[in-house]
Amino acid sequence: YLNSTNAIVTSPKYDLKTKTLEFNLESFEGHIIELQIISPTAVQGVFINGDNLSEWITESKKNELFEINLKHTSELKKNHYLIKFK
């Protein structure tokens, strides 16, 4: 689940079959977006507006749950996120 963010969340959905979490974040261009996801499984990939993001992601395991933190600079006012889990 999306635990926290410093932007406006719209259209969140989780697909159990494909193990993907999708949502949009709205802010402003140049805004440093920070978000945290909590999951029972590790992340396989993070995509922002279709681009694979491999930098600026940290992942740790606490109390049998994965804590995934992401920080990046927003290039658009509205960004689409797709997170794939293992």
pLDDT digits (tens, 9 = 90+) for 47-73: 999 998 877 788 999 899 999 999 989
Alpha-carbon separation of residue 77 from 14, 31, 32, 61, 64 (angstroms): 23, 9, 12, 32, 35
Tally Cβ neighbours within 10 Å of residue 77.
11
Q: How far is CA 24 from CA 50, 54, 64, in A?
A: 12, 19, 27
pTM of the model: 0.89
Q: Residue 75 — pLDDT band, cuts 50, 70, 90?
A: confident
The two structure tokens encoding residue 78: 């509205």
